[in-house]
């Protein structure tokens, strides 16, 4: 081992040993008033501290939780200087539009800034029904239900729809909220290799008879790899085994399809072939919250049984008005959807010219540039930041170890020069 490497390892070991939590002392007879528990003694906190100390030892600043002080389109002001931002879900560039801002303000003036109650017991407002009807029409489903959190929508929906005695098969790269919802449900579950419908087919061929209900969960556009599933194959598979299919359209609504209607439109498939379509209001619709669309029976069940809906305040008027206006704008003008696709092609062509490794994904606005090593991803992210670009690294545990990357999010407002 080289002397410099040995010295670095010794330094890291010394630092990590120094942050081992000391066992608490037993209180004596003259102990003073009880002191609140110090959460820094928990193992999870120690893991955070080890990562921080490693970065400090190597002279690498953390790129996370940098405070954004101002936003102007695709520019963000951080630490006193303006950066071109590639860390935004504002795919269609509608977030700072005057129409959306005016709609949110109108909602606040007419209804206030809270719906003030759970929708079941007094918080059900006209604007909820208007937004849900518009989403249902846009997706081509019978009905829709909205909730105050996209994460919570997956958690509450899955917790309600499956239970012990059921089986859920989830793509290995699906969002954490899906896995947490499945765990809370008590249903058996397996993670299947990414986009591998053959694995799902084989698994169901051997175990389908052991379960009452089976749900297969995929995403419309995967937020880490920027690719899409083979929807026709998944539909064939779930039909063959009498199962349900759920699509999480969080990153694909407003992005996929000629008019931004998502994965079904991308493949030219009617949404009636999908049992459950989930999505968020915080990406292309530049608001906050989540929704589930499907049959009237599905939505009625969720209205009365989903804990994240029944026991939570309803979506606020400003958020509902903002999402409703963004959806109207998308229905009137699909130009941003076209621009986003063209910008994605342009970016990939340029990346290929410079031999950057972004082979994952397709012609979509989530573009991973692989570094493989986590420290390399952080180092490159910091160098880009120094040169005027805000691009965040994605490292373990968000992605598998040795699969670190820089993740570029494109919006329709980015330029080619």
pLDDT digits (tens, 9 = 90+) for 102-159: 999 999 999 999 999 999 999 999 999 999 999 999 999 999 999 999 999 999 999 9
Gap between the Cα atoms of 318 and 107, Å rounded: 5
| Neighbour tally for 257: CB within 10 Å | 19
Where does the pLDDT of residue 28 fall: very low under 50, low under 70, confident under 90, or very high at 90 and above? low
Question: Taking the complete model, does pTM exceed 0.85, yes or no?
Answer: yes
Gap between the Cα atoms of 412 and 335, Å rounded: 9
Least confident of 14-28, 40-54, 92-106: 14-28
What is the chain's mean pLDDT, rounded? 91
Gap between the Cα atoms of 132 and 190, Å rounded: 32
Judged by DSSP in three states, 70 sits in strand
**Tokens 């079904």, located at residue:** 264
Q: For residue 189, is pLDDT > 90?
A: yes
Q: Taking residues 262-268, what's their average pLDDT? A: 98
Considering only the top CATH level, what class is 98-332?
alpha beta
Q: For residue 410, is pLDDT > 50?
A: yes
Q: Sign of the CA dihedral 221, 222, 225, 231?
A: negative
Gap between the Cα atoms of 320 and 281, Å rounded: 9
Instruction: Return the pLDDT at 384.
Output: 96
Gap between the Cα atoms of 99 and 97, Å rounded: 5
**Contact of 353 with 366, CB cutoff 8 Å:** no
Topology of domain 68-91+334-409, per CATH?
A: 3.90.1150
Q: Taking residues 38-64, what's their average pLDDT? A: 80
Strand (E) or helix (H) holding 69:
strand 68-72
Domain limits, the chain: 68-91+334-409, 98-332
Q: Taking residues 282-301, what's their average pLDDT? A: 98
Q: For residue 6, is pLDDT > 60?
A: no
Judged by DSSP in three states, 306 sits in coil
What strand order describes the sheet that includes 244-248?
A: 143-147, 290-294, 276-280, 244-248, 214-219, 167-171, 188-192
Instruction: Return the pLDDT at 14.
Output: 53
In this chain, the answer to whether the domains covering 68-91+334-409 and 98-332 adopt an identical fold is: no
**Contact of 263 with 252, CB cutoff 8 Å:** yes
Beta carbons within 8 Å of 232's beta carbon, 6+ residues apart? 267, 269
Least confident of 39-43, 106-110, 162-166, 359-363: 359-363
């Amino acid at each position: 081992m080289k002397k410099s490497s040995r010295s670095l390892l010794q330094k890291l070991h010394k630092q990590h040993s120094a942050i081992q939590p000391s066992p608490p002392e037993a209180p004596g007879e003259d102990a003073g008033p009880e002191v609140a528990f110090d959460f820094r003694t928990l193992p999870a906190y120690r893991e955070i501290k080890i990562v921080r100390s490693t970065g400090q030892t190597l002279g690498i600043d953390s790129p996370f939780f940098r405070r954004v002080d101002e936003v102007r389109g695709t520019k963000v002001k951080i630490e006193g200087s303006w950066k071109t931002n590639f860390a935004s879900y504002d795919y269609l560039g509608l977030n700072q539009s005057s129409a959306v801002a005016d709609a949110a303000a109108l909602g606040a003036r007419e209804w206030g800034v809270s719906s003030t109650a759970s929708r079941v017991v007094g918080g059900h407002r006209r604007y909820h029904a208007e937004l849900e009807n518009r989403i249902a029409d846009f997706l081509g489903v019978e009905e829709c239900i909205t909730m105050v959190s996209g994460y919570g929508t997956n958690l509450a929906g899955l917790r309600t729809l499956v239970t012990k005695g059921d089986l859920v098969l989830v793509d290995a790269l699906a969002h954490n909220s899906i896995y947490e919802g499945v765990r809370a449900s008590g249903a058996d579950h397996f993670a299947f290799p990414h986009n591998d419908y053959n694995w799902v087919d084989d698994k169901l061929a051997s175990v389908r008879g052991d379960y009452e209900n089976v749900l297969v969960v995929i995403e419309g556009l995967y937020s880490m790899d920027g690719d899409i599933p083979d929807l026709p194959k998944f539909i064939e598979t779930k039909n063959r085994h009498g199962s349900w299919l759920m699509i999480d359209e969080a990153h694909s609504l407003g992005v996929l399809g000629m008019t931004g209607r998502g994965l079904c439109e991308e493949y030219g498939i009617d949404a009636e072939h999908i049992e459950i379509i989930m999505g968020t209001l915080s990406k292309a619709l530049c608001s906050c919250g989540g929704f589930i669309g499907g049959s009237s029976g599905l939505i009625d069940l969720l209205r009365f049984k989903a804990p994240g809906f029944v026991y939570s305040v309803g979506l606020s008027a400003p958020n509902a008005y903002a999402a409703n206006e963004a959806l109207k704008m998308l229905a009137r003008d699909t130009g941003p959807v076209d621009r986003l696709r063209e910008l994605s092609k342009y970016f990939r062509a340029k990346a290929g010219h410079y031999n950057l490794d972004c082979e994952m994904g397709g012609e979509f606005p989530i573009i991973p540039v692989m570094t493989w090593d986590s420290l390399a991803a952080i180092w490159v992210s910091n160098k880009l930041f120094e040169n005027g670009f805000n691009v965040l690294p994605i490292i373990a545990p968000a992605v598998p170890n040795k699969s670190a990357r820089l993740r570029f999010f494109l919006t329709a407002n980015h330029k080619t020069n």
